[in-house]
Structure 1
Amino acid sequence: MDTLIHKRIKQVLKGDQNAYSDIVNSYQQSLYHVCYRIVGNQQEAEDIAQEAFVRAYINLHTFDPKRKFSTWLFRIATNLCIDRLRKKKPDYYLDAEVPGTEGLDMYSQIASEERLPDEEVERMELKERIHYEIGRLPEKYRTVVILKYIEELPLQEISDILEIPLGTVKTRVHRGREALRKQLGDV
């Protein structure tokens, strides 16, 4: 796929704007899904994905053809998602200490939900709950958890997308998984 994409990129750089629509069609769905999972809002995810394609088009001349195009594009989109999330900071963080306690954090305040007896409904609820709880993670953990476990990207590619060291990615994946485990309790 990358060879075809690199061919399309060369065509775009030579002035063939129609070749860019092939690139957009190749990544449109996966880019939207990543954005949606990070920001948790359909309209914002569509806007961010569209903006990422526009920015990629404008900056296509800066793309290094020795690298994977998808990594470069996902980095643009992920950065846009993170910027959007930073503009909407929550009032509290789950790992913040509860005032007046001896080291208890907000994770201890999350109530566990009762499971319904029907297995199929239970499975669907669990999946929804996991996605909901991932959405509640602090952004630095949420992003790596989504890229690792939902998009199933390799750690090195996540490192490239987020432009952070591989060790930091591993740490954030571990801490994000632990935070998610605390949030989910005994589910």
Structure 2
Amino acid sequence: MDADPDETQYALRAGAGDQHAFSWLVKRHQGAVHRYLARMTGLPETARELAQDTFVRAFRAMPSWRPEARFRTWLFRIAHNLALDHLRRAKRVVFEPLDDGLETPDPAPGPEQQLEAQQRIRQLETALAALPAAHREILLLREIEGMSYEDIAQTLELNPGTVRSRLARARAALLAVLRHH
């Protein structure tokens, strides 16, 4: 997936000190960054603080950002590092439920379909919570945030082949947990 030309222009302007351009970038990415951090930490208030720290660090580092790196992957790398630092300090790995980002396929499901959808979401949440943080993280970046393999590779500082193999292992682990339950 190629970089968004508007985003690149805003990032270049932000790097030159344009606060309006940086505000545009924050508005564009704050929801995804917060959602990612909330699911990684399991603590919405902590995720808000970490998201704020992500954008503060990004603002300070904007002059060093280069257009060769997509802004979104660069920003998620900062969020990733903050989440890992927090999890290491807290010595805990928890999981934030997914139901805020998932919708049932039928716009007007009946009670039975709603119950089935809620049960599937709970099963998925339980299965994801049982996975190691590295598996959960790569699944969140790919399946929930929709990042490309290349973007995940840049975010996690891996090569794309490693991303593919880790994603395959994470999916297999998720399926194994789902089958077990």
Same fold (TM over 0.5): yes
1:132 and 1:4, CA in 2 relative to 1: closer, same or farther beyond 3 A?
same
Identify which of 126, 133, 137 aligns with 1:132. 126
Superposed CA RMSD: 2.2
For structure 1, which segment, 123-132 or 24-33, has the greater mean C-alpha deviation from structure 2 after superposition? 123-132
Which residue number corresponds to residue 135 of structure 2? 141
Which residue number corresponds to residue 13 of structure 1? 15
Q: Deviations over 1:29-55 (max 9, x none)?
A: 111112122222211211111111111
Amino acid in the other structure paired with 2:70: K
SS of match in other structure, 1:59 = helix
Identify which of 88, 91, 96 aligns with 1:89. 91
Following the alignment from structure 2 to structure 1, what is the Cα–Cα distance between the partners of residues 128 and 178? 10
The answer as to whether partners of 2:15 and 2:65 remain within 8 angstroms in 1 is: no
Identical residues among aligned pairs (%): 32
For structure 1, which segment, 40-49 or 127-136, has the greater mean C-alpha deviation from structure 2 after superposition? 127-136
1:27 equivalent in alignment to 2:21: no
Which residue number corresponds to residue 170 of structure 2? 176
Amino acid in the other structure paired with 1:132: T
Between the two proteins, the alignment pairs up a number of residues equal to 162
Following the alignment from structure 1 to structure 2, what is the Cα–Cα distance between the partners of residues 127 and 60? 38
SS of match in other structure, 1:64 = coil
The answer as to whether partners of 2:152 and 2:163 remain within 8 angstroms in 1 is: yes
Q: Structure 2: which 5+ runs fail to align?
A: 94-110
1:79 equivalent in alignment to 2:81: yes
Structure 1 residue runs of 4 or more that deviate by more than 4 Å after TM superposition:
none
1:120 and 1:183, CA in 2 relative to 1: closer, same or farther beyond 3 A?
same
Which residue number corresponds to residue 109 of structure 1? none
Following the alignment from structure 2 to structure 1, what is the Cα–Cα distance between the partners of residues 120 and 70? 34
1:54 equivalent in alignment to 2:48: no
For structure 1, which segment, 121-130 or 155-164, has the greater mean C-alpha deviation from structure 2 after superposition? 121-130
Following the alignment from structure 1 to structure 2, what is the Cα–Cα distance between the partners of residues 12 and 50? 17
The answer as to whether partners of 1:9 and 1:19 remain within 8 angstroms in 2 is: yes
1:153 equivalent in alignment to 2:155: no
Amino acid in the other structure paired with 1:128: R
Provide TM-score, normalisation by structure 1: 0.77
Q: Structure 1: which 5+ runs fail to align?
A: 92-116
CA shift, 1:181, in A, is 1.5
1:167 equivalent in alignment to 2:149: no
Q: Deviations over 1:138-176 (max 9, x none)?
A: 111111011111122111111111111222212221221
